[in-house]
Structures are given as C-alpha cells and as structure tokens.
Amino acid sequence: MKTLSLIAQKGGTGKTSLSIHLAVQASLSGMKVLLVDTDPQASATAWWKRREEATPELIQCRGENLPRVLNAATGQGFDLVVVDTAPHSSKESTACARMSDWVYIPSRPAILDLDAIGASTELVTAVDVPARILLNCCPPATRFGEPHIVTEARQALKVYGIPVCEVAISQRAAFSHALIDGRAVTEFDRKTKAALEIDRLWKTMRQEMSL
C-alpha cells in the first residue's frame, strides 16, 4: 500500500480537486483506493456524499488520527491511500507528509501562488519525503506549446529543489462541473481534454511512484 498526500499551505491550489480526480483515476485503473479527507472543511466528503459509485472509498479523519487510519487500511487490502489535507496547518501537514510515501504540492502558476509555495516546500523538504510540485489551473497549451506563464513558473520553481511534474493541469470548467454530482472528469467522457490530462497525470505519477 502506498500513501500519497496532496499538501499546500495555501488554499485554493487544487488539493481537493486533484485528490478526488487521482483517487477516481486510480480506482478506474483497478486499484483499491481510499481517499482520506483530513480537512475540517470536508469538501472531498461532500463530493463523496453526492456520488453514486462505491469507489473510491472515503474516510474523514483528523490529521493526528492518520496513523490509525493507515494502519487499518493496510489490513483491508488497499493499494493506494490519497490524503487530502487542510491549508494553514503546518503541524498537520508535516504529520501527513511524514506518513506519506509521496507528496504532491499543487500550485497555480501565478506569481502570488509561486511566492507562497515556500512554506509548503520547506515543510516537505524537512520531512525528506519524495515530492513533486504540480502546476494546476494553467492556461491550456496551444499549438505553439506550453504557455509562457507555465514555462516561467517551472523556471522560478527551480530554487526550491523539488522537481516540477512534467504534466501541468489546465484551468478547465470541467474540473469543477464534474464534481457537482459526485463525479470526476474521466467519468463523463474519457476523451475530453480535461480527462486526457488527468489520465496523463495519473500515468506519470504511477510510474514515478512505482505503483
């Protein structure tokens, strides 16, 4: 069983949206997946309650109870645990990072978000867990390739010493629309641009995490 946490001290970077999409994608690929919602705002839980499918499974818990949840999940045959975390609590985020095999730090490519990422990268570096920064809400690539703002963000993020995931997730209405009735973009139409991005992200992550 592997544990993947989505951590960012800043709110609104896509922790919940990406946790949900990755957990669904892992389920669709045949894994037994547990999504753990450690955020008191409980957005992932609200999504899950609107959902008709039984997978991925979801449990709500406080960060401090994560060891117990992971212990129980090990005995229940889960292949992957995806942990959605709350912003603004470095203590809880550090505890989650410590219990993870991998951490992904979502960030928007805008300068204010890039400026704010230091708190998250420091925390993750201190724990010494394998990590990637994941650019989210990016302008979509065009026929000329990746937009400048994304390329520049990759450049600016080099100072933190944490590799940036080669897949950047675009800002697309589908990512929020899909969540309205408890689904993920890949459950509507696997051929949409949003679905193809998530599929590519999942395949890349799966390879990186040796899943």
Ligand X SMILES: Nc1ncnc2c1ncn2[C@@H]1O[C@H](COP(=O)(O)OP(=O)(O)O)[C@@H](O)[C@H]1O
Binding site for ligand X (CB under 6 A): 8, 11-17, 43, 136-137, 169, 171-172, 175-176
Retrieve residue 120's tokens: 């998250």
With binding defined as CB under 5 A, does residue 16 bind Mg ion? yes
CB of 12 to ligand X, least distance (A): 4
- Report the residue number, 14 or 109, with the smaller CB distance to ligand X: 14
DSSP string, 68-120: HHHHHHHHTT-SEEEEE--TT-HHHHHHHHHT-SEEEEEE-SSHHHHHHTHHH
- Indicate the burial class of 4 (C-beta count within 10 angstroms; 0-12, 13-18, 19 or more): buried
CB of 161 to Mg ion, least distance (A): 26
- Report the residue number, 15 or 51, with the smaller CB distance to ligand X: 15
33-37 sheet: strands from edge to edge? 57-60, 33-37, 80-84, 2-6, 102-107, 131-135
With binding defined as CB under 5 A, does residue 107 bind Mg ion? no
Ranges within 28-67 binding Mg ion (CB under 5 A): 43
CB of 121 to ligand X, least distance (A): 16
Residue 171's binding partner out of ligand X, Mg ion, none, with CB under 5 to 8 Å set by partner kind: ligand X
- Report the residue number, 3 or 85, with the smaller CB distance to ligand X: 85
CB of 25 to ligand X, least distance (A): 14
- Report the residue number, 5 or 17, with the smaller CB distance to ligand X: 17
Region of residue 9 (phi > 0: left; psi between -120 and 50: alpha; otherwise: beta): alpha
Residue 14's binding partner out of Mg ion, ligand X, none, with CB under 5 to 8 Å set by partner kind: ligand X
Angstrom CA distances, 204 to 127, 175, 178, 199, stand at 23, 19, 22, 9
CB of 6 to ligand X, least distance (A): 8
Q: Give the C-alpha separation, 123 to 97, whole Å.
A: 8
Retrieve residue 45's tokens: 């839980």
- Report the residue number, 71 or 142, with the smaller CB distance to ligand X: 142
